Structures are given as C-alpha cells and as structure tokens.
Amino acid sequence: MKDYQKDFISFAIDRGVLKFGEFTLKSGRTSPYFFNAGLFNKGSDLAKLGRFYAAALMDAKVEFDVLFGPAYKGIPIATATAVALYDHHQKDTPYCFNRKEKKDHGEGGNLVGSELNGKVMLVDDVITAGTAIRESMEIVEANGASLAGVLIALDRQEKGKGELSAIQEVERDFGATIISIVGLNDIIEFLKDDPEFNQHLPKVQAYREQYGV
Ligand code: OMP
C-alpha cells in the first residue's frame, strides 16, 4: 500500500465516510463496512479528495481525453479531480457531466461541460457489482465515445453477477482499465496495522471470504 492510499483510508475514517458495522448494500448483501462518499461535504474534503483521485490517476498512467462524472455523485468528484490535475500535475484536462433531467430549451442536450468524445475516463465513488457503471456506459456509447478507464475511490473487490468481479466484468465488456484509490485489500491491510480499528478485521475478512474475488 502506498502512503497516499493509507492517508486516504485514515481520511475516510476520520470524516465518517468509511464506517464499520452492519450495512445493507444495493445488491442486498449485508456488509460489515460501508463507504459513504456523500459525507465528504466541505471545501477541504473536496480539495483533498480531488488530490487523491488525481494521485491514483497519475499512478495508473492510463491515456484518456476527457473526464466524465455521471450525475449526481460523479459531478463534484470529476470537477475536483480536474482542478487537482491542473494544480498539482500541470494537466489541463477537459471534463463533462450529464444531467438526469432532459432539457428542452437553451442549448439543449443532456451533457454539460466539454464534449464527451474520444477516450473517456469515467469518475465515480464506489464499485460493488458494477450496476452504476453500466448505466453510465450507455451515455458514453450513445455519444460515440469509448471508455479508457473507470476511476473510483473504493473498489470493493466483490463478485458481480457471476464468478468474475464487477471490475473484471467491466474490463471484459468494455475493454477499460479500472483505477481505484484503494481496494478492499488495502482496507484489510490497514485494519491489520491499526490498533484502534483492528477489532473489525475478522468480520471484514469473513465478508471477503464469502463475496470477494
Ligand atoms: P454498484 O452499482 O453495484 O457497483 O454499486 C455502487 C453503488 O453502491 C454506489 O454508487 C452506492 O450507491 C452504493 N454503495 C456505496 O456507496 N458504498 C458502499 O460501500 C457500498 C455500496 C453498495 O450499495 O454496494
């Protein structure tokens, strides 16, 4: 685990974004941990978050033309990442996002920001089973663009619909690279080393045994 990844887990715990307990997921699975990116909700959070996403993106060295943040949660993340890429990595990157509601006046269209074409880096918060990513892919494909990669904060590293992980399915179906700031493996590594949160390790490990890949 790299330093920025460890710092990211501490930051997420500190802000109440990463919690341990009992949670029901969108998939119906009961999970001993949950990542609620909506609780990154102040200016300093967003500035730091952008820096972590940009660090993961630079680390991955995947070529792309435009950042796309699907509504709603992807919007501030794509924006903060674009700012951090410019401020900290001298990369001036176009970005865009979609609106969920159809607009029938003004410039029309469902996209705001730059055009969605070329190689797209889709930015979102979490992948569990990949459902949200598939919905966003329809927008990318409808614009004739291709998916270069998916950039997320947390890869829960769980099985998708079949035996493959959600990530493996998205990689297979869209030929894209998945980049995450951290994965479940990093959280487990963090728990092993942290005396305060070590108590949660057995349940998280048992969950990985059952649903992990
Ligand atoms: P998939 O669409 O199945 O990949 O799940 C991703 C979505 O699940 C996220 O966009 C959230 O709505 C939600 N989620 C979290 O935000 N954090 C978690 O730790 C787990 C989930 C989830 O329900 O699986």
Cis bond upstream, residue 72 (ω within 30):
yes
Ligand 1: residue of 23, 25, 180 to mutate (most ligand atoms within 8 A of CB) is 25
Q: What is the pLDDT of residue 89?
A: 97
Q: 30-35 and 18-24: which strand pairing?
A: antiparallel
| Position 113 confidence tier, pLDDT thresholds 50, 70, 90 | very high
The ipTM value here is 0.93
CATH number of the domain bearing residue 27: 3.40.50.2020
Distance CA(92)–CA(84), nearest Å, equals: 10
Q: Residue 118 above 80 pLDDT?
A: yes
Q: Which pTM does this prediction carry? A: 0.92
Ligand 1 atom closest to Cα of 34?
19
42 is catalytic: no
Question: How remote is the CA of residue 27 from the centroid of ligand 1, in Å?
Answer: 8
Ligand 1 atom closest to Cα of 134?
2
126 lines ligand 1 (CB under 6 A): yes
Q: What is the pLDDT of residues 172-207, one digit of tens each?
A: 888 889 999 999 999 999 999 999 999 999 999 999
Q: How many domains does the chain have?
A: 1
Distance CA(192)–CA(21), nearest Å, equals: 17
Average pLDDT of the chain to the nearest whole number: 92
Q: What is the pLDDT of residue 103?
A: 64
Q: Which residues of 186-198 are buried (b: 16+ CB within 10 A; e: fewer)?
A: bbbbbbeebeebe
Q: Which two tokens stand for residue 61?
A: 């060295």
Q: Residue 108 above 60 pLDDT?
A: no
Say if CB 140 and CB 68 are below 8 A apart: yes
Task: Note down the domain range covering 165.
Answer: 3-211
Question: How remote is the CA of residue 128 from the centroid of ligand 1, in Å?
Answer: 5
Q: What is the pLDDT of residue 170?
A: 81
Q: Residue 21 above 90 pLDDT?
A: yes
